[in-house]
């Protein structure tokens, strides 16, 4: 055997297939795994993985790096957590195709839907494209610490064809549907993985306008699905709202996917307002797949965590009159004011007046679902540990308790609001979802919700909580969890060249010290264009992450290597390793 680039020795290989672990070396040459077993000789670089797991790199199927990937090379927070491939363009929002006169419309939509500040996007996105293929060409010229795949965002496509009429939520004409289909087909042939869309009123631009895709008719979706059929590739990615029409909307999406012979994927959560619908949706997907369709549900394996704090977008007092007068003060000055007893008394006596169109803002005083985050925070917190339960034990108002908690750590304390998946103060619904054969983990929203959510860490959480630490119910086997994050997620998107530790597969790998694997607390960093703020969460226990045979992190620290590239369209399985 000729010289090897990298050998990972003595590790416990969990290969992504779901099969039991085994002791083996992993040899890599030219970015591909060439041998798994007892590897003779030496590599130019070697990693001793004795006592540690060796897994495929994780595939993050639901991100929003559409802006970040144009100005930054590291796809954090996802790549802090063993992710080696990300998929963006979800939920119908993004920046291509785009005419120059529509740029502000797309920025306002991304700002509102995904909580990315306008000033960050205006300074960061430099618009070296108009068409979607040009956007892919721009991404193809860049280097990253993970591979990137991208859907065509339906809102951008609709705006490109319809202009302001898209934002007036007018139905597309037959000619406009034809144009959208032609552009989508061209984009898929250029390397897009399908299209992402949204059918939820929660998705609004920063000026309150509903997402343009909400007005799309079944005829429009039929035209887009037919375009994927003509291209012979591409997935339909959906987000729906659990309102009175949810079943009609979902049935329409499944119908269009099946008639065009295209795979369909949708987000699934346990809504606290409709806490039993998720079971019906699972049943629908089981029936859809049994009838010959290809449908996958993306689930968050913990509560959707809305983070509240004085440095963040939301807190239980963010829209009270007195707080609004000091909201723009530097944090230290704001904390000084908030510590004055008369200011506390005044704020506690005021009514919060959140924007009724902002669902997360409406829930900031759901004190029984609000929890303190401490070291090694349990993302399945005990009901009696909530702010509401604490206040009842203390005989004081929950507003008073949360006010004091927010001032801890010099005003940098962060509280955790379990927004979904936790209606009964248990993650048993998530466990049942995870066990379904048509489910993959997702919805971490890496690159988005920068001041509200930091769920890009779900891949580390799957291993620690579900594979090692859970005490409120049964855990799940590590080989199954690894399978969900790797091979099953990769195959959902159409990536058959990764997700397995096997000869002939792409050398995207993690070396994990499971005994010491853990999550650090989320914290605020200001490293975006224009000094923009975002939440970040780091992990402990990743000895190495390898992308295409190159080590991109060691002991959680970036090496500076950027082997990640744009991936253009589905990738077939490699049948054999290079000799």
Q: What is the pLDDT of residues 11-39, one digit of tens each?
A: 999 999 999 999 999 999 999 999 999 99
Q: Are 233 and 569 within 8 A, CB to CB?
A: yes
Q: Using one digit for the tens of pLDDT, what is the confidence trace for 253-284?
A: 999 999 999 999 999 999 998 899 999 999 99
Which residues make beta-bridge pairs with 579? none
Considering the entire predicted model, what is its pTM?
0.95
Q: Distance from CA of residue 88 to its chain's centroid? A: 9
Q: Are strands 295-299 and 264-268 parallel, antiparallel or unpaired?
A: parallel
Burial class (CB in 10 A: 0-12, 13-18, 19+), 141: exposed
Average pLDDT across the chain, whole number: 94
Helices 246-259, 277-290: axis angle to 10 degrees equals: 20
Residue 210 confidence class, pLDDT cut points 50, 70, 90: confident
Q: Is the peptide bond before 382 cis (omega within 30 degrees of 0)?
A: no
Q: Using one digit for the tens of pLDDT, what is the confidence trace for 64-103?
A: 999 999 999 999 999 999 999 999 999 999 999 999 999 9
Indicate the SS3 state at residue 551. strand
């Amino acid at each position: 055997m000729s010289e090897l680039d990298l050998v990972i020795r003595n590790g416990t290989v969990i290969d992504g297939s779901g099969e039991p672990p085994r002791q083996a070396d992993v040899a890599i040459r030219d970015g591909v795994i060439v041998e798994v077993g007892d590897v003779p000789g030496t590599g130019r670089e070697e990693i001793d993985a004795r006592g540690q797991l060796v897994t495929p790199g994780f595939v993050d199927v639901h991100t929003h790096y559409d802006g970040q990937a144009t100005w930054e090379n590291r796809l954090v927070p996802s790549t802090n957590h063993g992710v080696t491939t990300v998929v963006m363009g979800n939920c119908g929002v993004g920046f291509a195709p785009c005419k120059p006169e529509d740029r502000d419309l797309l920025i306002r939509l991304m700002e509102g839907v995904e909580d990315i500040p306008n000033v960050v996007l205006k300074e960061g996105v430099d618009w070296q494209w108009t068409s979607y293929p040009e956007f892919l060409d721009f991404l193809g010229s860049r280097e990253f610490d993970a591979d990137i795949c991208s859907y065509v965002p339906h809102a951008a496509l609709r705006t490109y064809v319809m202009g302001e009429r898209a934002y007036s939520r007018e139905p597309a004409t037959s000619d406009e549907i034809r144009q959208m289909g032609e552009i989508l087909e061209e984009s898929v042939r250029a390397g897009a993985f399908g299209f992402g869309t949204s059918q939820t009123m929660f998705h609004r631009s920063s000026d309150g306008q509903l997402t343009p895709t909400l007005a799309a008719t079944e005829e429009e979706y039929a035209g887009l699905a037919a375009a994927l059929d003509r291209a012979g590739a591409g997935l339909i990615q959906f987000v729906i709202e659990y309102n009175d029409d949810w079943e009609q909307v979902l049935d329409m999406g499944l119908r269009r996917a099946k008639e065009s012979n295209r795979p369909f994927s949708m987000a699934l959560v346990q809504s606290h307002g409709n806490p039993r619908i998720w079971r019906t949706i699972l049943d629908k997907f089981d029936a859809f797949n049994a009838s010959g369709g290809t449908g996958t549900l993306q689930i968050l394996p913990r509560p959707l965590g809305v983070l509240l704090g004085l440095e963040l977008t939301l807190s239980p007092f963010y829209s009270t009159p007195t707080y609004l007068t000091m909201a723009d003060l530097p944090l230290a000055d704001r904390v000084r004011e908030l510590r004055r007893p008369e200011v506390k008394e005044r704020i506690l006596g005021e009514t919060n007046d959140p924007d009724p169109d902002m669902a997360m803002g409406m829930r900031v005083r759901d004190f029984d679902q609000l929890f303190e985050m401490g070291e090694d925070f349990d993302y399945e917190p005990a009901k009696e540990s909530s702010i509401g339960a604490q206040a009842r034990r203390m005989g004081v108002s929950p507003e008073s308790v949360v006010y004091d908690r927010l001032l801890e750590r010099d005003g940098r304390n962060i509280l955790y609001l379990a927004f979904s998946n936790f209606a009964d103060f248990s993650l048993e619904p998530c466990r049942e979802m995870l066990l379904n054969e048509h489910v993959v983990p997702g919805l971490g929203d890496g690159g988005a919700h920068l001041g509200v959510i930091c769920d890009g860490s779900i891949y580390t959480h799957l291993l620690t909580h579900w594979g090692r630490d859970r005490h409120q119910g049964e855990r799940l086997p590590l080989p199954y969890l690894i399978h969900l994050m790797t091979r099953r997620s990769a195959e959902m998107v159409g990536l058959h060249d990764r997700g397995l530790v096997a000869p002939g597969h792409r050398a995207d790998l993690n070396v994990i010290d499971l005994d010491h694997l853990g999550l650090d607390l989320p914290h605020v960093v200001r490293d975006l264009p224009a000094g923009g703020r975002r939440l970040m969460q780091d992990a402990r226990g990743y000895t190495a992450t390898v992308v295409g045979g190159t080590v991109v992190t060691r002991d959680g620290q970036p090496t500076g290597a950027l082997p990640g590239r744009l991936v253009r369209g589905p990738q077939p399985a490699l049948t054999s390793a290079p000799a």
